[in-house]
Amino acid sequence: MSKRIFITGIGIISAIGKNIPDTFLSLSESRSGLGRIKWLDTVHKDEILVAEVPFSNEELASMAKVESLDGYTRTTLLAVIAASEAVNSAKITNMLELTTGLISGNTVGGMDKSEIYYYDYLKERKGNSYIETHDCADSTEKLADLFGISSFVTTVSTACSSAANAMMLGARMIQNGSLQRVIAGGTECLTKFHINGFNSLKILDPNPCKPFDQNRMGINLGEGAGYVILEGEEALLTPERIICELSGWGNACEAFHQTASSPDGNGAYLAMKKALDMSGLKPSDIAYINAHGTGTDNNDVSEGHAIEHLFGDTIPHVSSTKPFTGHTTSAAGVIESIISILGMKNNMIFPNLNFSEQIDELKFSPVKQLIPNINQKHVLSNSFGFGGNNTALIFSQFS
Amino acid sequence: MEEKELIDKLRKEIIQQLNLEDMNPEDIDPDLALFGEGLGLDSIDALEIIVLLEKNYGIKIEDPKQGKTIFASIRVLANYILTHQKPQ
Amino acid sequence: MAYISGIGCISPQHTMDNEVFLEEAVNQQALFLQCIQPNSYKEFINPILSRRLSKIIKMGITSALISLKDAGIENPGAVITGTGLGCVEDTEKFLMTMLDNKETLLNPTNFMQSTYNTISSQIAIILKCFNYNSTYVHRGFSFESAVMDALDLMANGDADNALVGGIDELTENHFQITSLLGNCRQEAENNLELLHHPGKGTIPGEGSVFFTLTKEQQSSTYCELKGIKMHYKPANFFGVWIEIKQLLEEHNLTEEDIDLLVMGTNGNQETDIYYQQIHSSLFPNTSVASFKHLCGEYYTASAFGLLLAANILKRQTVPTVCQFKGDKPSNIRNIILYNHYAGDQHSVMLLSKC
């Protein structure tokens, strides 16, 4: 059997909380983070709902203990806040005592600044501290510099499954012995660029999104960051630090269309199947699925079919928590993994808010209301990206 | 604008907007289905045609699902424009 | 470890035909280098599919298909790409239309193709390849991360082969913006002279290079890729020195076993110093080959370096245009490929003759 991978730290920031305790409180009170845009300057302000982190960049900088905003995009600030919480929660005092890597998922990069200054650079020929923050690696390197990591630093970009793939690579690198510990996750702030992008695809719901509902209308975008600390079997020496086990992962490509999912959900099925096979679990061992569940016409029916295909007549509890956090794109994989872990640790299943009517083509409905006192040994989190980059992760109670 | 004139214009515009490099306007039969079996366009092309209609004809289509019927063929599209375009 | 068993490359040089290698170098006065485009992509990509694909996506798909064909493999066990900046042209088009039209009348095509994983997923769509698929976007580690991921998948038994590529494009706008950082030569320079005129900045470039890595050696194999190391922001060259020492040790080799260094020297005297220090401290008597005067500097230029190293091992000769220091070696058994981007992301690969 391959080496076990443990999660010893978690950190999160999104519209529903600036840290783990606040996030858990919002989830357990079924409090959504959706609302009108406050900080981002866009003409769509009054037309769409988003899940924006309720702090200005200045406030985030002070939370991140960053002295000057120079060279710090919102994406980086969110990353610093979530990764610092993860490092503290794993009680890491000396980063260098173990060979530590950093793997972060990101897609929109520093576009929040590029979209403000692009013509200054191009036409006015005026540079500034954000000219080098445009790419996806910038936020990752800011974290690496903060934590003093040099052994292995990389950035994954598979669109909305980026953070899930970052966690997966981290786990594999611990298994193969190249690293002993990995800070893995992802970060993304809202930008005009991707709000307009999703809007041009006509998949933004102007009202609160309703994943898995017959009358679903699309996505609400969100922003945030999440990081986990992954460790190998050395973690067994301090079992009190272990939050849970990452027991399975699967990555498959749907190879169907750049933005659409196949009607039968083949890619989603393959990713979940690989994760399950790897964990050595039976479908009936999975107590809960945190679905990708974006709320688009296409995704939810495709993912639903994949779940039915794999789980047959005994479908686990399913919910999409995107009505809480919005679709946090590159960070979604880790944010929803952490939400699944919080549910498992606290014997709760968080609901799929705004659901009322089952999809005609599907045989199941998602969880409508919070389920308390429910023991879950194993939970699965799905993350799917443009281009059919699908990844599933399985988390298990540590015993 | 007459239907025939509009059809010729639309054929050129669609080739340009969808970047159908290897096609000539006369290759597109005005009655050929644009989607599925006919020309083989997909949902993204439909969204591109929606942008084209708004940009060149001032016609807004809010629900992309409507595209399926409006974009059945170039002739159907031309007639939709003729009946929905605001007088200039 | 793995074998490099297929290559496909579109670059500022004539590299699409694997039968010949850098016999005639493209020589131009330039501020930046761009890829030589094939006469037509029709031979490789169905025109209906290619209708919305930008240049970099077409280059990526085409070089990937050439690489697979070279290796005689139809459906790889994994598709993994590295790209520092992804689809720049689509991103710029969407961004500028958004700014010019005040967030109206935007083309979804440019947005959906602006994501960095577009090339890896388009390759999967064309091949109907449902296997592992990922994309790395970390500056001078983008291609290296993809290689490392592929080696790990194969070592684990998750794949028998993998398609791995390094792709970046340079647009006029992007050149204008990066040149504000002062990393580019101010005057157009003859690219073949670049390395003989060390100075401030370098000549940026672009390229798309794909490799088909296989677990087993086969008739098309170029060489063995024994291992890879990366080091982020070493305090000085000694950080890289240690990585090379370890890599050699892991494969029971010493400095004397290395017959050639392939290095990413780019004419920028401020950062080329790392290459000089590694050469003089570890391999003072070893010949050096260079490549960035041929492809320009870009985040995934090390993929062009790997193309050079693989061809040298297969053909057992260094193209004259690449010979940089020392005599042309004969009997080339092992090569160290050392590259860094702007002194921050350092990578070392060890390659051996088969």
Please name the residue of chain C whose CA is at the shortest distance from the CA of residue A387: C121
Q: Are C316 and C331 in contact (CB under 8 A)?
A: yes
Query: pLDDT for A319-356, tens place per residue?
Result: 999 999 999 999 999 999 999 999 999 999 999 999 99
Q: How far is A102 from chain C (nearest CA, A)?
A: 11
Query: pLDDT for C247-284, tens place per residue?
Result: 999 999 999 999 999 999 999 999 999 999 999 999 99
Q: Are C33 and C9 in contact (CB under 8 A)?
A: no
Coil vs helix vs strand at A393: strand
Please name the residue of chain A whose CA is at the shortest distance from the CA of residue B50: A200
Query: Domains plus CATH for chain A?
Result: 6-241 (3.40.47.10), 248-396 (3.40.47.10)
Does B87 score more than 70 pLDDT? no
Residue B51 contacts A where some CB pair is shorter than 8 Å: yes
Query: pLDDT for A153-185, tens place per residue?
Result: 999 999 999 999 999 999 999 999 999 999 999
Beta-strand pair A224-231/A5-14: antiparallel
Contacts of A156 in chain C (CB under 8 A): 134-137
The C-alpha atoms of residue A324 and residue A52 are separated, in whole angstroms, by 11
Q: How far is B64 from chain A (nearest CA, A)?
A: 7
Please name the residue of chain B whose CA is at the shortest distance from the CA of residue C105: B51
Cβ distance C106 to A159 less than 8 Å, yes or no, reads no
User: Which of C129, C141, C155 lies closest to A154 in CB terms?
Assistant: C141
Contacts of B42 in chain A (CB under 8 A): 257
User: Which of A202, A257, A258 lies closest to B64 in CB terms?
Assistant: A202
Q: Quick one: average pLDDT of C142-163? A: 97
Contacts of B44 in chain A (CB under 8 A): 201, 258-259
User: Residue A206 contacts by C-beta under 8 Å, 6 or more apart in sequence?
Assistant: A47, A48, A49, A217
Contacts of B50 in chain A (CB under 8 A): 202
Query: Could you tell me the end-to-end alpha-carbon distance of chain C, in angstroms, rounded to an integer?
Result: 13
The C-alpha atoms of residue A251 and residue A169 are separated, in whole angstroms, by 10
Cβ distance B44 to A258 less than 8 Å, yes or no, reads yes
Residue C113 contacts A where some CB pair is shorter than 8 Å: yes
> C82-100 burial by CB neighbour count: b if 16+ within 10 A, else e?
bbbbbbbbbbbbbbebbee
If residue A181 lies in a helix (H) or strand (E), which one and from where to where? strand A181-188
Chain B residues bordering chain C (beta-carbon distance below 8 Å):
18-22, 40, 44, 47-48, 51, 54-55
0.90 exceeded by pTM: yes
Cβ distance A201 to B47 less than 8 Å, yes or no, reads yes
Q: How many residues does chain C have?
A: 354
Closest of C29, C22, C58 to residue C304, by C-alpha: C22
Query: pLDDT for C184-196, tens place per residue?
Result: 999 999 999 999 9
User: Residue A352 contacts by C-beta under 8 Å, 6 or more apart in sequence?
Assistant: A211, A212, A291, A293, A318, A319, A320, A321, A323, A366, A367, A368
Q: Confidence class of residue A1 from pLDDT cuts 50, 70 and 90?
A: very low
C 47-76 residues with CB < 8 A to A: none
Query: pLDDT for A197-229, tens place per residue?
Result: 999 999 999 999 999 999 999 999 999 999 999
The C-alpha atoms of residue C305 and residue A361 are separated, in whole angstroms, by 52
Please name the residue of chain B whose CA is at the shortest distance from the CA of residue C42: B22
Amino acid present at B52: L
The C-alpha atoms of residue C293 and residue C347 are separated, in whole angstroms, by 19
Query: pLDDT for A242-272, tens place per residue?
Result: 999 999 999 999 999 988 899 999 999 999 9
ipTM given for this complex: 0.98
Cβ distance A193 to C128 less than 8 Å, yes or no, reads no
- pLDDT score recorded for residue A2: 64
C 285-344 residues with CB < 8 A to A: 344
Query: pLDDT for A113-130, tens place per residue?
Result: 999 999 999 999 999 999
Q: Quick one: average pLDDT of C104-124? A: 97
Query: pLDDT for A53-92, tens place per residue?
Result: 999 999 999 999 999 999 999 999 999 999 999 999 999 9
- pLDDT score recorded for residue C277: 98
Contacts of B64 in chain A (CB under 8 A): 202
Residue B66 contacts A where some CB pair is shorter than 8 Å: no
Cβ distance B51 to C105 less than 8 Å, yes or no, reads yes
Angle at A246 between CA A240 and CA A252, to 5 degrees: 170
> How much of chain A exceeds pLDDT 70, in percent?
99
Q: How many CB atoms lie within 10 A of CB A275?
A: 25
Write down the domain spans for chain C: 2-214, 226-352
Q: How far is A34 from chain C (nearest CA, A)?
A: 22
Does A6 score more than 90 pLDDT? yes
Contacts of A117 in chain C (CB under 8 A): none
May I ask the CATH architecture of the domain C2-214?
3-Layer(aba) Sandwich (3.40)
Cβ distance C105 to B55 less than 8 Å, yes or no, reads yes
Contacts of A192 in chain C (CB under 8 A): 98, 103
CATH match for C226-352 among 3.40.470.10, 3.40.47.10, 3.40.50.1970, 3.30.565.10: 3.40.47.10
Cβ distance B42 to A257 less than 8 Å, yes or no, reads yes
C22: region left, alpha or beta (phi > 0 left; psi from -120 to 50 alpha) = left
